[in-house]
Amino acid sequence: MLNVAMLSRWHVHADGYADMLRKTGKVNICAVWDEDPVRGADWANKLGVPFYANLDTLLSQSDADAVCCCTPTTMHREVLIKAAKAGKHIFSEKAMATTVEDCLAIADAVEKNGVVFMLSMPHKCRKDVLFIKKCIDNGDFGDVTLIRIRNAHNGISGKWLPSYWFDESAAGGGAMMDLGCHPMYLLSMFLGKPKNYAAIYSSPFGTPVDENAAALIEFENGATGVSETSFVSYSSPNIIEVHGTKGVLISTDGNVQFKNWKTAEYQNGFITPALPQSLPEPICMFPDVCLSGSPSPEEFGTKAGIELTRLLEETYKVNASK
């Protein structure tokens, strides 16, 4: 069994992570710390575990093998470096941090202390995403010219996101720093190194963070990536479009239509391809990686986290510069 301490209930996924870890049958939730002691004590009581008001005290406890970090994003550098130095394996909510500088400091602590680090990037485990990556690697699109990815909901316009979600000093940003992480890390996964950036991040409902956001990124391979996200979009499907010199794919909520020069014989050219099996979500992989002594999976590790934050940080900068 892997003993995991839960660090903060700030993030809306914290309860879900605790539940998913327990359902693996390989994890014992052993403790809770929270920067809000009232919230933390209440959560610890619900989980039936001890609450620690002091993070250093919790990390000094020998029975905690690992931590699951759901703190405000702007606290990640401090909390994750402390956890790494204490020799605890780390699972963290995205983004890794709000700046590349902070990510590099976290990565250095992880490497020096030899702990597992995994970042929550669950869309990398989806069937359609795995199919797209294989097709890109196989050259089935020819030269990829554009990828557009949209992930959005109505958390602000529907009035169901907590008000503290709009505190930039804690969250580090708005829609793009939260939901927008998913299209951003997929663009990085598909297209590699970025080169140039443009962005428009707006707040039509007047909160202090970006509510409706689109980023345009030129990659070194010549392809353009479009990352779209929103907290004010009603019932928006999850969309991935891949356009290339010899093929095109459109995935809408995982329903894939694909066409390239090899499928021209079919009616309209489009086919519904057989997709690979999805992978377990990173939070479910985490206990096995820790217990087996395996290295951190590269696709969820520090390098992937750094590249995600690079896209976030640079597009926030260009939006601020107008």
Expressed in percent and rounded to 5, the helix, strand and coil fractions of the chain are 40, 25, 40
Query: What per-residue confidence (pLDDT) applies to 298?
Result: 94
Q: Return d(Cα 139, Cα 124) in angstroms, integer.
A: 19
Whether domain 127-277 has CATH 3.10.20.30: no
Query: What per-residue confidence (pLDDT) applies to 113?
Result: 97
DSSP string, 243-284: EESSEEEEEETTEEEEEETTSTTSTTS-B-PPPPPPPPPHHH
Give 124-181 pLDDT, tens digit per residue: 999 999 999 999 999 999 999 999 999 999 999 999 999 999 999 999 999 999 999 9
Q: Return d(Cα 259, Cα 271) in angstroms, integer.
A: 6
CATH topology classification for 2-121+282-296: Rossmann fold (3.40.50)
Block means of pLDDT (10 residues each) for the chain, length 322 residues? 97 96 97 97 97 96 92 98 98 98 98 98 98 97 98 96 94 97 98 97 97 98 98 96 97 96 74 95 97 93 98 97 86
Query: What per-residue confidence (pLDDT) applies to 262?
Result: 82
Domain residue ranges of the chain, discontinuous segments joined by +: 2-121+282-296, 127-277
Q: Return d(Cα 34, Cα 10) in angstroms, integer.
A: 8
